[in-house]
Chain A
Amino acid sequence: MDLSVVILVEFLYAIASLILISAGLAVIFGMMKVINLAHGEFMMMGGYATITAVNAGVNIFFAMLVIAPITIGLIGLIIERLIIRRLYGRLIDTMLATWGLSLFFIGLAKMIFGNTTTGVSTPIPGLSIGDYQINGYNFFIIIIGFIVLALMLFVLKGTRAGLIARGTMQIPEMAAALGCSPDRVYLVTFFCGAALSGLAGAILAPLVGLTPSSGATYIAEAFITVIAGGPALIIGLLSSASFFGTINQLFTFAISPIVGEVMLLVSAVILLRLLPQGITSKFFKGKF
């Protein structure tokens, strides 16, 4: 009984963290079709923003949930104006430019923070279920992960801003003809995507030792989750995160964490071979 609860929590945790990691990319890549290879570095900077704020005496939850997303969102704003704006529609070029950005930010972080591991302690103490000890922070990640997903669903489907954003991404000329400035819509959407990445990086920061190059650990998982999700943004994110999270945890429990990670990647290759347009191109068609 206790064990099954622990295992359930671990599975949910794996799914929620995949959702968090991929949410920002789902907006920037899934919606805007900008292959953002600097996504991992956005997350890394979110982590550094949190740690810097906490060291300056700010409450850790405020730092994670407010300061980090806004800082990274603003950085994203500058990047969009300077670079990405010129590259919409040129898929390969966005990829190369953002790769350059990712190297640039790694270099910058190395110069500012040094090539060492930093971190903050988790703000929530562990708790025990029966004979087992679980990290209480896992619950926090699960809750935030699903809140982020619900919020994205609400904004995109339930508000006028979301409607405008979706419309502009589909046919920018039509949106412009109807009186929305695509330029501004792209700007705001990129801000939201960057802010989501920063939030994810901030929330995962207490779990990992942060180094300037730690963004690279997220980038592959984020991309395969978003691509495997397919055209339907929210349900795709949820279904592919559940699929990969489950596979990862299954093999982690059965064999070892390394095998879990490798099997996640292997299953991604197989899934993409079978469903190159993503899960939602076959299932849940036309929903969300």
Chain B
Amino acid sequence: MIDSLWRDSVGAVLGIALLIWVAPLFISPYTLTILIIYGMLALSLGMIWGFGGILCFGQAAFFGLGAYAYVIAAINIGESTLPMLIAVLVPAIFASLLGAMMFYGRLNDVYLAVITLVVTLILFKFMNSTAGPEYIIGKARLGGFNGIPGFPTLNMPGNPNAYIWGDTYFYFCAVTLGVVFLITTLILQSSFGRIAVGIRENETRMSLLGYDIRARKTVLFTIGAAIAGLAGALFANWAEIVTPNLFSLSQSAEIIIWCIVGGLGTRLGPILGAAGLSLLKFLLGQQTLIDNLLITGLILVLFVLILPKGIVPTLNDLWSLTIGQRIIRHRRRPRRRTRRKPPRD
């Protein structure tokens, strides 16, 4: 376990280094920044869905809440260090309440998906209707469908005039993604993470073993929301405007598509899926021949039909079937033999 943690840390540092030095040669740092932010957002869902088995249709709600919380706090406070913290805390608290309500009610699968979807819609409808001057929090007008432009962006802690922007902001986001990735790894490799995977596999068995499933699911859900909130705050800084579209159905859909295409049950899959598909969308957006959504939809349908496991797990399987098998033949063999018979419930 310690070994794999070392391996992952080295991998993450190498990945970030590659991102900072090599990637800007091909793609502009401005575009890369948003790819990183989306990657973080996908990671948040990939963690609670891929490892915890909680299919949340409303990850966009936490993303949007984080962005709005940051903006409203930044306008009122005038600098960015405390608002960044608030942007993580507000979605986390909201998610812990929502999660407690759902998991202590033993809601599952479809019901959970529909409730999270409905909550996102409520936020979307509410935010769209706040155009009037009476909707104001401190100094910040909510602005309805126009959104909130013009707020203080990220600055160095303690010095509100030293803004972090452009290339520096890109480095900041890249490093943040690396840190979040490592934190996720730590959580998933701790006993908490392993028990979460156990709950995903067989909830009844885990509860008979004495684990409090409801509390554990709520905590995992909250962690996912906190990461999504952080991504939201980073997005607000990148876009320099927040609009209710952050809460829209298509935003929620996209996060799920990223995870599916990249591969569930992996940490890297969602990040790669998000970055790859966003880049594709960005490139497709530059042509007008075929509509963007049409292609996104086709990709999703094809993936569900042909590669339901996603890219990263499929590549993993290919690797272990061909080259990898030859290398670690001795270690793998006994495990494969015992695995041939599927366990019966």
Chain A, residue nearest B248 (CB):
A216
On whether A103 and B125 interact (CB within 8 A), knowing A227-B111, A273-B105, A276-B107, the answer reads no
Interface status of B300 (Cβ within 8 A of chain A) = yes
A268 at the interface (CB under 8 A from B): yes
Check: B85 CB closer than 8 A to any chain A CB.
Answer: no
A 3-35 to B, binary, CB cutoff 8 A, 1 in contact else 0: 000000000000000000000000000000001
Q: Decide: A83 and B305 in contact? CB cutoff 8 A.
A: yes
Instruction: Decide yes or no: A104 and B109 within 8 Å by CB, A258-B129, A262-B125, A265-B118 being known contacts.
Output: no
A223 near B: Cβ within 8 Å? yes
Assembly CA distance A178 to B82 (angstroms): 69
Cα distance A260–B295 when bound, in Å?
36
A269 interface contact, C-beta 8 A: yes
A65-118, CB < 8 A from B? 83, 86-87, 91-93, 95-97, 99-108, 110-111
A261 to B126, CA, bound (A): 10
Could you tell me which B residues sit within 8 Å of A by CB distance?
55, 101-102, 105-107, 109-111, 113-115, 117-119, 121-122, 125-126, 129, 249-250, 253, 256-257, 260, 290-305, 308
Residue contact A269 to B119, C-beta cutoff 8 Å: yes
| Of the residues A91, A227, A266, contact of B114 by C-beta under 8 Å | A227
B110 cross-chain contacts in A, Cβ below 8 A = 35, 91, 227
Give bound CA distance, A24 to B292, whole Å: 28
- Closest chain B residue to A270, Cβ basis: B101
A101 contacts B297, CB within 8 Å?
A: yes
A252 to B255, CA, bound (A): 33
- Which residue in chain B gives the minimum CB-CB distance to A256? B129
- CB-based nearest B residue for A95: B113
| Distance, CA A102 to CA B287, complexed state (A) | 22
Chain A positions 239-288 with a Cβ under 8 Å from a chain B Cβ: 258, 261-262, 265-266, 268-269, 272-273, 276
Q: Are B121 and A105 in contact (CB under 8 A)?
A: no
**Are B118 and A102 in contact, CB atoms less than 8 angstroms apart?**
no
Which residues of chain B have C-beta atoms less than 8 A from A219's C-beta?
249
Residues of chain A within 8 A of B308, CB atoms compared: 93
Are A105 and B297 within 8 A (Cβ)? yes
CA distance A75 to B78 in the complex (A): 55
Give A84 Cβ to nearest chain B Cβ, in Å: 11
Q: CA–CA, A93 to B256, complex, Å? A: 12
Q: Which of B260, B292, B297 has the most CB of A within 10 A?
A: B297
> What is the minimal beta-carbon distance from A169 to any residue of chain B, in angstroms?
16
Would you list the 8 A-B pairs with minimal beta carbon distance, nearest first? A107-B294, A100-B300, A104-B297, A103-B297, A107-B293, A107-B291, A100-B301, A97-B304
Contacts of A111 on B, CB cut-off 8 Å?
A: 290-291, 294
Contacts of A83 in B (CB 8 A): 301, 305
The answer to whether A104 and B293 touch across the interface, beta carbons within 8 angstroms, is yes
A276 touches B111 (CB 8 A): yes
Cβ contact within 8 Å between B305 and A108: no
The distance in angstroms between the C-alpha atoms of A266 and B121, with both chains bound, is 10
B59 to chain A, nearest CB (A): 14
Q: Tell me which residues across on chain B come within 8 A of A155, comparing CB atoms.
A: none
Complex-state Cα separation, A223 to B118, whole angstroms: 10
Assuming the contacts A107-B292, A262-B126, A273-B105, asked whether A100 and B111 have C-beta atoms less than 8 A apart, the reply is no
Does A144 belong to the interface (CB within 8 Å)?
no
Chain B residue at smallest Cβ distance from A93: B304
Residue from A100, A102, A106 whose CB has the most chain B CB atoms within 10 Å: A100
Contact flag A273-B125 (CB < 8 Å), given A107-B291, A107-B294, A223-B114: no
Once the chains are docked, how many angstroms separate the CA of A227 from the CA of B301? 25
CB distance from A8 to the nearest CB of B (A): 27
- CB neighbours (8 Å) of A87 from chain B are 304
Q: Name the residue in A86, A104, A216 with the highest tally of chain B Cβ atoms < 10 Å from its Cβ.
A: A104
Q: Whose C-beta in chain B lies nearest to the C-beta of A100?
A: B300
**Bound Cα distance A87, B109 (Å):** 17
Instruction: Check A91–B109 contact: CB distance below 8 A.
Output: yes
Residues of A within 8 A of B105 (CB): 273, 276
Beta-carbon contact of A272 and B107 below 8 Å: yes
- Given A220-B117, A273-B102, A276-B111, 11 new contacts (CB under 8 A): A95-B113, A96-B304, A102-B297, A104-B294, A107-B293, A111-B291, A219-B249, A223-B114, A227-B111, A261-B125, A262-B122
Would you give the shortest CB distance from B311 to chain A, in whole angstroms?
15
- Point out the residues of chain A lying under 8 angstroms from B253, CB to CB: 99, 103
A224 within 8 A of B: yes
* Min distance, Cβ A25 to any Cβ of chain B, angstroms: 12
Chain B residues with CB below 8 A from A262, complex form: 122, 125-126
Interface contact B114-A272, CB-CB below 8 Å: yes
Smallest Cβ-Cβ distance to B101: which chain A residue: A273
Please name all residues of chain B whose beta carbon is closer than 8 Å to the beta carbon of A258 when the two chains form the complex.
125-126, 129
Contacts of B113 in A (CB 8 A): 95
Q: Among A87, A107, A110, find the residue whose CB has the most chain B CB atoms closer than 10 A.
A: A107
Bound: A101/B302 CA distance, A: 10
Known contacts A83-B305, A99-B253, A276-B107; A224/B260 CB under 8 A? no
A95 to B296, CA, bound (A): 15
Compute how far the CA of A107 lies from the CA of B292 in the bound complex, rounded to whole angstroms. Answer: 7
> Roughly how many angstroms separate A95 CA and B304 CA in the complex, as a whole number?
10
Contacts of B299 in A (CB 8 A): 100
Whether A108 touches B114, Cβ cut-off 8 Å, given contacts A99-B300, A100-B300, A272-B107, is: no
Complex: A266 Cα to B115 Cα, angstroms: 10
Report yes or no: B107 in contact with A273, Cβ–Cβ below 8 A.
yes
Alpha-carbon separation in the docked complex, A87 to B300 (Å): 14
Q: Are B117 and A107 touching (Cβ within 8 A)? A: no
Tell me the complex Cα distance, A216–B102, Å.
24
